[in-house]
Amino acid sequence: MTDMRDAFFASLYDVIKENKNVLLVTADHGAFGVDKIRNDFPKQYLNVGIAEQNLISVAAGLALSGKIVYVYGIINFIILRCLEQINVDIASMNLHINIVGVGAGFTYCTDGFTHHGTQDIAIMSTIPNFKIYNCSDAVNTAAFAKLGFIESGPKYFRIEKGVVPDLYPAHFLPDEGVAQLCKGNNMCIISSGMMVHRALKISNTLLEKEDRLIGVLDVYRLKPFPTKLFITLIRNYKELFILEDNVANGGLADKVCSALIDGGIYIPTTKWNAGDQFCFKYSTDREWVEQQMMGGCLI
């Protein structure tokens, strides 16, 4: 198993190695894989210092000059801090820039709310032209790094650090936006990102303890939402549960409910999320923090 962040930058390393036109730009945020790119391809790496607004504007200038740009940083700092730059300098000009945000949900579980990525999906969902991808294992994380090069236009990749079991086969292509990881009988948990692993844990536990087969869906492309395939996958379920480590408003649940309306179907749905609140719980145990914020839905 590979660390997800390493998987992204190892994949990006190959892209950068083959394409001199690709740049990685940071606001002084690092990672093992970032260091490798910086050392081996110094002309394709740029650190603007802790200046996120300028990070985005400079990236826009580079992209206007024909460069394909990956900007990297902690989610809150490269999304919330410089939202207007993202909106005006990248999105409104439809530039080929990939924002790579680390720290989805409670990744930085000891660092407090300033470092928790629980609002970014809602915020970025309002921005035209942007696509939003949420990584759930090392395989799709690596695939997203390549997608950022192949597909033009603005994209936002939420990546994780840490190691989780692979969910997807090595030949995975991120075309469909949603995958059914586990087929259930009557109930299905819809999730995204790291929460998919929590959903699988719930599903496995209920299978072992109560012999109930609970479906699990991973929505790895949050925008545009893969409505058509999603509706096909959930149509026959009797009850849905939406599990996400985002704030109560604007996240996965809103997208699912919107898709249900678009699909013209009604299925009783329960929402599990981190609530309309900031998190002042601190622990090195991420699951403990998640349980504090999300109540009893997590096993």
Partner 1 sequence: MKINNLIRKSADIRLSILDTLQSVGKGHIGGAFSCVEILVALYYSGVLKYTVLNPKWKQRDRFILSKGHAAVALYTILADLRFFDPIELEGFNDCGLLGEHPDMYIPGVEVNSGSLGHGLGIGAGIAYAAKLDGNDFNTYVLLGDGECYEGSIWEAAMFAAHHKLTNLTAIVDRNYLCIHGNTEEINKLDPLIEKFHSFGWSCDVIDGHDFDQLITALNYITVKPKVIIANTIKGKGVSFMENIAGWHHGGISKEVYKKAREELLNDRYA
Which residues sit at the interface with partner 1, rule CB under 8 A?
43, 46, 48-49, 51, 53-54, 56-67, 84-85, 88-89, 92-93
Question: Shortest Cβ distance from residue 93 to partner 1 (Å)?
Answer: 6
Question: Shortest Cβ distance from residue 27 to partner 1 (Å)?
Answer: 10
* Burial class of 277 by CB neighbour count within 10 A (0 to 12, 13 to 18, 19+): exposed
Reading the block at residue 19, the tokens are: 């394409």
Select 11 or 87, whichever has its Cβ closest to partner 1: 87
Q: Are the CB atoms for 125 and 226 separated by under 8 Å?
A: no
Cβ-Cβ contacts under 8 Å for 265 (sequence gap 6 or more): 231, 235
Q: Distance between alpha carbon 4 and the CA centroid of its chain, in Å?
A: 12
Q: Where are the alpha helices (DSSP H) in the chain?
A: 4-18, 32-40, 52-64, 75-79, 83-85, 120-124, 138-150, 195-210, 227-234, 252-263, 286-294
Strand partners, 35: none
Select 44 or 134, whichever has its Cβ closest to partner 1: 44
Select 89 or 218, whichever has its Cβ closest to partner 1: 89
Select 66 or 169, whichever has its Cβ closest to partner 1: 66
* Whole-number Å distance between alpha carbons of 272 and 296: 9
Question: Shortest Cβ distance from residue 63 to partner 1 (Å)?
Answer: 8
Closest CA to 55 of 80, 72, 75: 72
Q: Are the CB atoms for 215 and 183 separated by under 8 Å?
A: yes
Select 58 or 259, whichever has its Cβ closest to partner 1: 58
Question: Shortest Cβ distance from residue 154 to partner 1 (Å)?
Answer: 13
Question: Shortest Cβ distance from residue 94 to partner 1 (Å)?
Answer: 10
Select 69 or 252, whichever has its Cβ closest to partner 1: 69
Question: Shortest Cβ distance from residue 59 to partner 1 (Å)?
Answer: 6
